[in-house]
Amino acid sequence: MRTHRDDDRGQVAVEFLGMVPLILLTMALLWQVVLVGYTYTLAGNAADEGARAQAVGDDCEGAARRHLDGAWRAEVSCSSPGDGMAYAEVDLWVPVLVPGTGGLFPVQGKAGAVDEEGLIP
């Protein structure tokens, strides 16, 4: 004699297979959000390091790029306008799921440091 329970065999497997695409999409979106935050962190840190290097007369662009992996497309600009400050700007592109692939939108990190070259007698 068959019971009602026998009619539901395999239902969990079917429901799981139906949910797999949704689970994978959710994980990909969460990973993309992590990459956006990480890009902002990298841009700010690289700009800080570049500004510090510019403030003591070192290579600003080189210092900023040392703190970025080669997969991150970056534009670095440094300046010392004569107001006693050294500035650095780092523009990075947020990658699509994997660093080094495409770019969703640019992220800019800006930093300033007291220009110490003029302070040394």
Query: For residue 20, is it within any domain?
Result: yes
Q: Give the Cα separation of 70 and 34 in Å (integer).
A: 19
Identify whether 119 is part of a domain. Answer: no
- Residue 8 resides in a domain: yes
Determine the structural domain holding residue 108 and report its residue range: 4-114
Residues of the chain with pLDDT under 70: 1-8, 118-121
Is 0.85 topped by the overall pTM?
A: no
Per-residue tokens: 4: 């009602």
- Residue whose C-alpha is closest to residue 35's, from 89, 90, 91, 107: 107
- What is the predicted pLDDT for the residue at 15? 81
If one counts the domains in the chain, the total is 1
Residue 44, domain member (yes or no): yes
| Residues 6+ positions from 18 with CB-CB distance below 8 Å | none
- 120 in any annotated domain: no
Residue 27 resides in a domain: yes
Whether residue 74 is contained in a domain is answered as yes
pLDDT digits (tens, 9 = 90+) for 75-102: 999 988 878 889 999 999 999 888 888 7
**Bridge partners of 92?**
74, 107
pLDDT of residue 99: 83
